[in-house]
Chain A
C-alpha cells in the first residue's frame, strides 16, 4: 500500500521519469496507431519498428557516439526507407502488401543483426546498450528521454490537430477527399511521419515488438467503444497511457519484471475486456441480444400457431401436440417459451391446455398478417413463385415493423385494414388445403 502511494505520488525520482515517459509513449502511440488501424495498415508499425535497427546501428557506426538524437535520426531514416520500399514493391510488382511488409521486415532486420554482430566483434565496451533497441529497457530512461517523449507528444498532437479534417476525410472516404482537393499522398506521408516519429523515440524504451504492439492494441481495444474518430483517438490514447501506467507500476512493484512487455500485457487485457464486455460491440452484449431475438422469435411463432389453430376451428384450447402440427417445439423449448408467454400475460393455463388472452391473440394475429402481407408482396412485386414465398415470409414476419407494414400495404394498393386471413386464399393456396 505504501509502495502504491509512493508510486502514485511519483515520489521516487527514479520512477518518475520512467512512468512519465511510458505513459506519454502509450498515449501517443495509441493515437497514432488509430490512424494506421483505420487505414487497415496495422502491421506497418511492425515492419517499420524492425526496420529501424540497421538505421540506429549505422548512425552509431558513423557518429561513434550513442547520442539519442542521432540514433533517432538514423532510426527515422531507415524507417522511412522501409515504408517507401514496401510501397515501391507493391506498386511495381504483383507482390501483395502483406508479403512486401514481411520481405522488408526480415531483410532490414537481418541487415540489422549483421551490423550488430559486426559492431560487437569490432568495438568492445562502448557498444553495450545497443541491443536495448531490440528488447527495450525502460529502466534506463533518463530525464532527457522523458523530455524527448513530451516534445514528440506535443509535435504529434499539433500535427494531428492542424490537419485533422483532411486526415479524417482521407481515412473514411479517400475518393471524396481527393475530389475536394485534399492530396491523398500528403496525408499518407503525414501519417507515415507520425508513425515513424513515434516508433523511433519509443523503441529504446520498450523494444521493437512491444513498440509495434503499442500501435496495434490500444486502437483495437478503442474500436469496441466507439464509431467516431475523435472519441476513438481519445480512448485509444487513454488505453495506451493506462497500460503504460499499470505496466510500469507492476514492474516497479515486482522485481525482475520488464516494463515494456508488462505494458503490452496490460493493454492486451484492456483489449480483451473491451472485446468481451463493451456495450453494443462486445461479445457478451451481442450474444445476449441474439438470445433475446431467438426468444422473441420462438414466442411469436408459438402465438402465431395458436392463432392459426383457432382460426381453423380447432377450438380455443391448445397444447403442445396441437401446436406441433404447425410449428415444432421440443419439450424443453415448449416449457420455456410457454412459461414466458404466461408471465407476459399472452396465454392462460386452462386445465390440461392453454388458451390465448386478448393481447396474445392480437399479437399472434399481427404476426400472421405480416407473414401473409410479405407473401403477397413477394409474389406481386418480386415475381417470386408461390412455393418459395412461404419460407422467406417465415423469417421476415419477425422483422416487419408497423411502419414498414403500412408502406408495403400502400405500395400494393391495399387498404390498411386488409385482412389477409379472408383474402389470402385467392392468391395463395393454403398448404393445409392444397
Chain B
C-alpha cells in the first residue's frame, strides 16, 4: 500500500507541475522553475519561524509571496536596471536562496528545520501521516496534492486560451488588448504554488525535473498543446512508477530515481526523433 501512495504522489506532482512546465517551455522560461524553487526558501523559513509550525498553509502563503516577489524582482532588474534576462534571474534567485540558507543555519537550533529537508523532501515519508476524509484514508500529502491537481487543472483550462495566445505571440496578444503582464504573473503564481506544494512532499529537485523534462519530451513528440498535456500525464505515471521501482532496486532516494527515469524517457524520445546533421 505504501508503494501505491508513493507512486500516486509522484504521479500527482508530475501531472500538476508538468502542465505548467508546458507553458514555461513554450515561453522559453524553463529555468524559471529552477529559480522559483530556490527563491521560495526564505519565504518558507520566515513563514515557519512566524507560525512556529510545519503546517502547510502558512508555508504555502510564505512561498507564494516569495514567488511573486521573485518574479517582480526579476522583472524590475531586467526592465528598470536593464540587466539581460538570464543574469537578472540568476542574481535574484541565488540572492534569495542565500538569504534562505542563512536563515536556516541561524535558526536551526530553535526550529526543527534544515536545508536538507526543505530541498530534498523525502517521498518515503509520505505514507506515514494519514488522515481520513469522506471515509477514505489517505496520506496528507495525497490530499494536498489532489487539491493542487484540481486547482492546476482548473487554472490551466480556464486560462488555456489566454496563455496559449500570450505564449505564442505576445506582441499580437498585447496589440489586441490582452494584458500580457497579468497572464505572466498568474502563471508565475501558479508555478510558485505548484512548486511549493509539491516540494514539501517530493523535494525541490524532483519538482524541477517534473516541471521541465516531461514537457520537453512531449514537445519532441507533438506540437499540439492538448496532446502535449496527454503525453505529460502518461509520462507522469510511467516516471513515477519506474522511479519507485528503481529506488527499490538501488535502495536510493525515490525523488532522485524518478528524476533519473524522467531523463531516461526523454533520452529515448530524443534519440528516436533526433535531427540528423
CB distance from A148 to the nearest CB of B (A): 24
B-binding segment of A161-169, A181-189, A195-203, A217-225:
A217-225
Q: Output the nearest chain A residue to B223 by Cβ-Cβ distance.
A: A94
* Interface size of B in residues (CB-CB distance below 8 Å): 64
B105 touches A103 (CB 8 A): no
B-binding segment of A63-71, A109-117, A340-348, A408-416:
A109-117
* Cα–Cα, bound, A116→B205 (Å): 14
CB distance from A130 to the nearest CB of B (A): 13
Q: Which of B103-123 contact A (CB under 8 A)?
A: 105-106, 108-109, 115-116, 120
B250 touches A93 (CB 8 A): no
B219 touches A95 (CB 8 A): yes
A216 touches B205 (CB 8 A): no
B34 touches A210 (CB 8 A): no
Q: Which of A194-252 contact B (CB under 8 A)?
A: 209-210, 212-213, 216-217, 219-220, 223-224
A210 touches B98 (CB 8 A): yes
A-binding segment of B59-67, B76-84, B180-188:
B76-84
B98 touches A264 (CB 8 A): yes
B38 touches A209 (CB 8 A): yes
B-binding segment of A255-263, A377-385, A396-404:
A255-263
Given A99-B25, A99-B30, A102-B208: A111 and B216 within 8 A (CB)?
Answer: no
- In the assembled complex, B266 has its CB within 8 A of some CB on chain A: yes
B259 touches A113 (CB 8 A): yes
Q: Output the nearest chain A residue to B255 by Cβ-Cβ distance.
A: A113
B220 touches A95 (CB 8 A): yes
Given A98-B29, A110-B263: A220 and B91 within 8 A (CB)?
Answer: yes
A99 touches B255 (CB 8 A): no
A106 touches B252 (CB 8 A): no
B102 touches A95 (CB 8 A): no
- In the assembled complex, B49 has its CB within 8 A of some CB on chain A: no
Instruction: Write out the residue numbers on chain B whose beta carbons fall within 8 Å of the beta carbon of A93.
Output: 220, 270, 273-275
* Cα–Cα, bound, A106→B258 (Å): 11
Given A113-B120, A268-B95: A106 and B213 within 8 A (CB)?
Answer: yes
B101 touches A107 (CB 8 A): no
Given A216-B87, A223-B83: A103 and B253 within 8 A (CB)?
Answer: no
Q: Which of A332-374 contact B (CB under 8 A)?
A: none
Given A103-B213, A261-B99: A114 and B87 within 8 A (CB)?
Answer: no
CB distance from A84 to the nearest CB of B (A): 14
Of B84, B260, B266, the residue contacting A114 (CB under 8 A) is B260
Q: Output the nearest chain B residue to A115 by Cβ-Cβ distance.
A: B252
CB distance from B123 to the nearest CB of A (A): 11
Interface 1/0s, chain B 159-197, versus A by CB < 8 A?
A: 000000000000000000000000000000000000000
- In the assembled complex, A283 has its CB within 8 A of some CB on chain B: yes
Interface 1/0s, chain A 103-132, versus B by CB < 8 A?
A: 101110111111111100110000000010
A275 touches B220 (CB 8 A): no
CB distance from A86 to the nearest CB of B (A): 12
Instruction: Write out the residue numbers on chain A whose beta carbons fall within 8 Å of the beta carbon of B220.
Output: 93-95
* Cα–Cα, bound, A294→B33 (Å): 41
Q: Which of B187-237 contact A (CB under 8 A)?
A: 205-206, 208-209, 211-213, 215-216, 219-220
Instruction: Write out the residue numbers on chain A whose beta carbons fall within 8 Å of the beta carbon of B33.
Output: 102
Instruction: Write out the residue numbers on chain A whose beta carbons fall within 8 Å of the beta carbon of B256.
Output: 110-114, 116-117
- In the assembled complex, A92 has its CB within 8 A of some CB on chain B: yes
* Cα–Cα, bound, A92→B219 (Å): 14
Q: Output the nearest chain A residue to B210 by Cβ-Cβ distance.
A: A106
CB distance from A319 to the nearest CB of B (A): 39
Instruction: Write out the residue numbers on chain A whose beta carbons fall within 8 Å of the beta carbon of B137.
Output: none
* Cα–Cα, bound, A275→B82 (Å): 9
* Cα–Cα, bound, A46→B92 (Å): 13
Given A43-B31, A98-B29: A110 and B94 within 8 A (CB)?
Answer: no
- In the assembled complex, A281 has its CB within 8 A of some CB on chain B: yes
Sample of 19 further A-B pairs with CB below 8 A, known A94-B275, A103-B30, A261-B102 = A42-B87, A43-B90, A99-B215, A102-B33, A105-B34, A106-B209, A106-B212, A106-B259, A106-B263, A110-B205, A110-B206, A110-B256, A111-B260, A114-B246, A114-B250, A216-B90, A223-B83, A261-B97, A281-B82
18 contacts between A and B (CB under 8 A): A37-B84, A94-B219, A99-B30, A107-B266, A110-B256, A110-B258, A114-B247, A114-B256, A121-B251, A122-B251, A135-B101, A135-B115, A210-B94, A217-B90, A220-B87, A223-B83, A256-B105, A256-B109
Rank and list the top 8 A-B pairs by shortest CB-CB distance, nearest first.
A110-B259, A213-B94, A113-B256, A107-B263, A106-B209, A216-B90, A261-B98, A264-B98
